[in-house]
Amino acid sequence: MSQSINLEPVNALDHSAFLGAFASVFEHFPQAAEGAWSARPFASEGALHEAMMDVIRRLDDQGQRAFLNLHPLLSGANIRAGTMTADSNDEQKSAGLDAMSREQEAALDQLNAAYLKRHGFPFIICVRHYTREGIFSALERRIGRSSQQELDEALAQIGAITRARLSARLTGLN
């Protein structure tokens, strides 16, 4: 992302302020910011993001799966119910998941259920990089992959999601 972000203010944050600024970058997992705290000072936005991702990468298989299960299903109903974080809500709206027909919602619910049953965690995709149709296509394709492939893919997608979230927060601090 942008190399023009000044990280001096980030590196100068005390522990509480750092967590306040970055604890919500990873969905319901403030431990990523907590773990990254000790890696300060950060030379770049990428270094900060990598420190946070390293917390996730160091989790064992069971821990990574538990982390993935903190993420919401893609769902128009979740958007309408307001049950997701503001970031997830905005991201899913950006892909038009709040404007699906009943048939599309039912199809998405069925695909989500099949994916969850097969892999044991929700389908995760950086929705800002896809159209609604592209999301459906990826979900259909990824159901049949191995669960290890999907674990790896879900973590890669989380990397893209959180990189964008982190960039937005850093821009807000500068």
Report in angstroms the alpha-carbon separations of 2 from 5, 7, 95, 144, 171: 6, 12, 24, 36, 9
Residues 6+ away with beta carbon under 8 Å from 46? 1
Q: What are phi and psi of 50, to 5 degrees?
A: -60, -40
Q: Residue count of the chain, please give it.
A: 174
- pLDDT tens digit at each of 174 positions of the chain: 444 578 999 999 999 999 999 999 999 999 999 999 999 999 999 999 999 999 999 999 999 999 999 999 999 898 989 889 999 999 999 999 999 999 999 999 999 999 999 999 999 999 999 999 999 999 999 999 999 999 999 999 999 999 999 999 998 886
CB 53 within 8 A of CB 46: no
Question: Residue 100's CB: how many other CB atoms inside 10 A?
Answer: 19
150, HSE (Cβ side, Cα atoms, 13 Å): 22
Going along the chain from its start, the domains and CATH numbers come out as: 72-146 (1.10.3330.10)
Sequence letter at residue 64: Q
Would residue 71 show up in a list of annotated catalytic residues for this protein? yes
Q: What is the pTM of this model?
A: 0.93
Residue (of 16, 27, 65, 13) closest to 164 by Cα position: 27
Do 37 and 15 meet the contact criterion of CB atoms below 8 Å apart? yes
Q: Choose, from 15, 71, 119, 129, the residue flagged as catalytic.
A: 71
